[in-house]
Amino acid sequence: MEQTISIEVEVESLEYNKNIIGNITFVVDYHRYFPDQGWSDFVVIILCWWIKSFKGLLVSSMGQTFQFDFMDETPVIVGRKVDSSRIELSFEFDKEKREIEYTAICKLEELGNSLIKASKKVLRAVERNNWSSEEINELRDLTLSLERYVSR
């Protein structure tokens, strides 16, 4: 059974010092937050990593895996391509022990669209606040690239 997947970023939580920090989380079936609701991390850097991992999944063969890391490497989400349109996500709290909290099967396109939506939301907040950095430029480029790739 497929589950609904989304990536949520709380724009009100975004702060800029050397990096942009804010609340970011994966949400499964509208109510299951991973790692936790209100998880704070380096939003721009993580979105860049996740877009790269997602693009890897898009072009990979069945069974290949890519990680959706958080800043401290734990927790982690491992994505495995199930078929041309679906992926299995394993939500893990301890990478060393491979402790899987739960797994979810979702549509590849749904995850891609959610990544685009979350990234654009962050980029709009960045523009409103006149923030700039190399990471922000990278996120902007990766988002445009992903948008072109997913809209094919």
Cis peptide before 75 (omega within 30 of 0): yes
User: What is the mean pLDDT of the segment spanning 73-87?
Assistant: 91
User: What is the mean pLDDT of the segment spanning 101-125?
Assistant: 95
Sheet containing strand 86-94, strands side by side: 65-69, 76-83, 86-94, 99-107
Where do the structural domains in the chain lie, given as residue ranges? 5-150
Give Cα separations from 43 to 2, 30, 104, 133 (angstroms). 27, 20, 23, 13
User: What is the mean pLDDT of the segment spanning 133-139?
Assistant: 97
Quick one: pLDDT band at residue 106, thresholds 50, 70, 90?
A: very high
Quick one: pLDDT band at residue 144, thresholds 50, 70, 90?
A: very high
Would you state the pLDDT for residue 151? 66
pLDDT in tens, 15-46: 998 899 999 999 999 999 999 999 999 999 99
Quick one: pLDDT band at residue 11, thresholds 50, 70, 90?
A: very high
pLDDT in tens, 66-79: 999 999 777 889 99
Nearest to 87 by CA among 68, 107, 102: 107
pLDDT in tens, 44-65: 999 999 999 999 999 999 999 9
List beta partners, residue 104. 89
Would you state the pLDDT for residue 152? 59
Mean pLDDT of the chain: 92
Nearest to 73 by CA among 42, 119, 108: 42
At 1 the three-state DSSP class reads coil
pLDDT of 99 higher than 80: no
